[in-house]
Amino acid sequence: MRTTIRVDEDLLRRAKELAARTDRTLTAVIEDALREVIARVDEGDEGGPFRFPTFEGGGPLPGIDLDDNAGLLDVMEGET
């Protein structure tokens, strides 16, 4: 099937270089890249919400205001 897409110039240049280095067509390189991305998404490697790791503990120390960047920096540098 033939279609038209817009591609960043640098990305296109790199894809053409890869095609030449691997003795493939630009179409083959683009198809392989799309297959890889679709397979990753189908396997669940992408697309879900990011979950921050959590650790046991009692939360922030008393008197620590997590909305006060300067105060947090002072605490981390031992100035309080």
In what helix (H) or strand (E) does residue 70 lie, and over which residues does it extend?
helix 69-76
How far is it, in rounded angstroms, from Cα 10 to Cα 7?
A: 8
Q: Which two tokens stand for residue 76?
A: 């981390």
- The pLDDT value recorded for residue 76 is 83
Q: What is the pLDDT of residue 80?
A: 59
Would you call 80 helix, strand, or coil by DSSP?
coil
With H, G, I as helix, E, B as strand and everything else as coil, classify residue 37. Answer: helix
Amino acid at 71: G
pLDDT for residue 74 is more than 90: no
Beta-carbon contacts of 24 under 8 Å, excluding residues fewer than 6 positions away, are 18
Max mean pLDDT range (5-9, 13-17, 44-48, 49-53): 13-17
- At 62 the pLDDT is 81
pLDDT score, position 41: 82
Determine the pLDDT at residue 45.
58
Q: Which residue has the higher pLDDT, 3 or 32?
A: 32
